[in-house]
Amino acid sequence: MALAFEQQPKEGDKAFAAFAMYLSLGPTRSLTVAAKKLGKSRRMMEKWSRRFDWPARVQAHGAHMAQTAREAAEALARAKGVDWLKRQEEIREQEWEMHEKCIEAAKRALASFMAREKIYANLADISRILEVASKLGRLASGMACDRTEVTGEGGGPVRVELEVALKKIYGPASAEATARQAGAVDVEAVVALPEGKV
């Protein structure tokens, strides 16, 4: 079955050629311009346009072209997605291989260190190798590598209310006495621990 913008069963070659010319004129198309280009009368063009519903066929062509463009874009996106997945998998494999090599190097260095053999690595070097190996292994296996720090409101220091904490631990009556024995500050105060201090 012919698409709406293709030659129709009862449409003659001349009528279809006229429609094709009309369609090719683009958004500024008109029956007058098509008639001039074909050397036909405008009246003939109007007759064919009505009989073979040129406006609907132009819309059908536009919809078809839009759908074709969407499908092409989707196919391209899928192909690129497959390519990127392959690349990601290759990188994961390489990271895992490097992870294994780092672990083996650290084991050999640690064994040499423990046996007091002459090696060109110290414990700090071995520790760094293991840290890199851990990071590579976590990346390759899709695990998180970053540590999450707990902060107070607005990213500031964590605020601790000493009185509430001591009452939870020692009970209401002995909390104040315990704090005084330990030489703590006034338990009525709310203390904000400075960053980096415990």
Same-domain check for residues 134 and 95:
yes
Q: Establish if 23 belongs to a structural domain.
A: no
| 2 belongs to a structural domain | no
Beta pairing partners, 190:
161
Q: Write out pLDDT tens, residues 146-180.
A: 755 566 666 666 665 666 666 777 676 654 555 45
CA distances to 133, 147, 177 from 92, rounded to whole Å, are 13, 21, 58
How many structural domains are present in the chain?
A: 2
Q: Quick one: tokens of 180?
A: 């005084």
> Nearest to residue 114, comparing CAs of 126, 98, 101, 131?
126
pTM, two decimal places: 0.45
Residue 187 belongs to what domain range?
Answer: 156-192
Q: Is the pLDDT of residue 192 over 70?
A: no
Q: Domain for residue 117, yes or no?
A: yes
What pLDDT, on the 0 to 100 scale, is given for residue 103?
82
Query: Would residue 66 count as lying in a domain?
Result: no
Say yes or no: 133 and 162 in one domain: no
Q: Is residue 162 part of a domain?
A: yes
Residues 98 and 128 in one domain: yes
**Domain-located, residue 51:** no
Please report whether residue 60 resides in a domain: no
Are 177 and 131 in a shared domain? no
For 95-110, how does the pLDDT look when each residue is reduced to its tens digit (9 = 90+)?
A: 888 888 888 887 887 7
Tell whether 167 is covered by a domain. yes
pLDDT per residue as tens digits for the range 115-145: 777 766 677 877 787 788 778 777 777 777 7
Answer yes or no: do 123 and 91 share one domain. Answer: yes
Listed in order, strand segments (DSSP E) in 55-192 are 159-161, 190-192
